[in-house]
Structure 1
Amino acid sequence: MYINSEHKKAQALLDQQKFEKALIAFNKALKIDPNHPDILSHRGVLHLHMNQKKKCFDDLELSLRLDKNYSYRYAALAYAKDFFGDTDTAIELYEKAVQVDPEDSISHNNLGLLMEKKGYQQKAKDNFEKADKLAKIQDEMLDKLDELEQKEDQFHQENESKKTKSNPLPKPGEGLKPKGEPLQPKKLQPEVPKTFKQVSKDLITKKSVFKEFIGFVKNGFKLKQ
């Protein structure tokens, strides 16, 4: 989630609403990793909170140019455009976001809100229905992932317990090879294939981060008090 230590520091300061200090940290983060779309996007959100329209747009637009295949880039800029009063452009950007990722439930939902705001009730309804359906699927995926994690953790705990019982620690002096006896070379262990949980986490990143991100965007990029 964080590109470097200054990026992490900047996000923490942003969470604490220490905007000026967060800005200094974001600037340092960009010196370490120039023009990184994640850092630019997050700094753009900071400028939004500081009500700095041009700087907000500059960061979010550059972030989008650097990473055009990620729907969030369009959605973040769309939110900022609507925030500063340009609803028509925001609609176009949300439409682009769902073209890039048709399963982006948040963009479908926010697009529905803006369609409703403009008086396009049927289009708004269509987007709300898509958003609800996709959100339900995402929630089910996360629930399944929770279940699989619990089962896998339980399996590993039981396995470790069995190993401890079947192979107790040797008493002092036991299990030691006589002096001068050559040690047998260890056999190389085959690479263990990734579990479903690990593969799932590769696809949607850490579950906690995914939930945090979803909550952050659903809350209109508002920080927790």
Structure 2
Amino acid sequence: MISNNPFYISGRKKFEAQDYQGALSDYNQAIESEENPSIYSERGVVQFYLKDLNKSLDDMNYAANLEPENPYRYSSRAFIKDAMGNTEAAIEDYEIAIKLDPEDSIAHNNLGLLQEKLGYMKLAKTNYKKADELADIDNLLERIQDEQSEDQADPPPQSTSHELRQRISLVALVRATFTTKDGFKEYVRFIKNGFRA
């Protein structure tokens, strides 16, 4: 549920420019006029960048309460819970996300990462295998490149995968990780490549 609220739009632009305080201010104003789970989720991401994990978690909780059937609300919250050191609770959220969207390869992969972190290797391998079955990782960069070309009036010459990887900014990746399925897929690719873009 994306908002057309001008403060929300301004906040997203400021976030992409890494003006986190400005983005926070805009999101606060957007929330005053509209109770939208996407705004709370975006503000939670900003709070994360500002190292205020408790407020980030509060926003992710509120977004999940407003939109309890949206699996991405639980995946986003799981990321924050794990960052706070509450890996067991993060696992529970990924399990909810998977229950709501069993085809989400990213949630399966992230669940596997957390299970591995806690030493549950057999469960982790099962989730990694499921993630690989569901994800079309090999073609993800090609699809992103195709989508970028379609969005431009005069598409640039075809880029190599390496050039494309260099153009994807970390900020855009993190925001997309919390808000889109393709963003989550890109995150998995990033992890599988040993945290190299």
CA distance 1:28–1:218, change in 2 (3 Å)? farther
TM-score scaled by structure 2? Answer: 0.71
Distance 1:17 1:217, change over 3 A: farther
Report the AA paired with residue 37 of structure 1: P
Question: Which whole-Å CA distance do the structure 2 matches of 1:217 and 1:6 have between them?
Answer: 31
* Structure 1: gaps of 5 or more residues: 151-208, 221-225
Matches within 5 A, 1:91-106: 91-106=91-106
**1:95-134 equivalent positions in 2, closer than 5 A:** 95-134=95-134
Higher helix share: 2
Match of 1:215 in 2: 186
Look up the SS of the partner of 1:17 in the other structure: coil
Q: Which amino acid aligns with 2:46?
A: L
Paired residue secondary structure (1:123) = helix
1:212 and 1:98, CA in 2 relative to 1: closer, same or farther beyond 3 A? closer
Q: What is the TM-score normalised by the length of structure 1? A: 0.62
| C-alpha contact (below 8 Å) 2:71/2:101 kept by paired residues | yes
CA separation in 1, counterparts of 2:186 and 2:9?
A: 19
Aligned-pair CA distance for 1:219: 5.8
Partner-residue secondary structure (3-state), 1:102:
coil
1:3-82 mapped onto 2 (5 Å cutoff): 3-33=4-34, 35-82=35-82
Q: State the 1:117 CA deviation.
A: 0.6
- How many residue pairs end up in the alignment? 158
Higher relative contact order (CA 8 A, sep 6+): 2
Dislocated runs of 4+, deviation >6 Å: none
Name the SS of the counterpart of 1:51 in structure 2. coil
Of all paired residues, the percent bearing the same amino acid is 38
CA contact (8 A) 1:104 1:134 kept: yes
* Equivalent residues of 2:137, 2:185 under 8 A apart: no
Instruction: Give 1:12 deviation, angstroms.
Output: 1.3
- Per the TM alignment, residue 211 of structure 1 is displaced from its structure 2 partner at its CA by 3.9
Q: Contact 2:6/2:30 (CA < 8 Å) preserved in 1?
A: yes
Deviation at 1:104, TM superposition (A): 1.0
What is the alpha-carbon distance in structure 1 between the residues aligned to residue 75 and residue 57 of structure 2?
13
Query: How far apart are the structure 1 equivalents of 2:49 and 2:184?
Result: 17
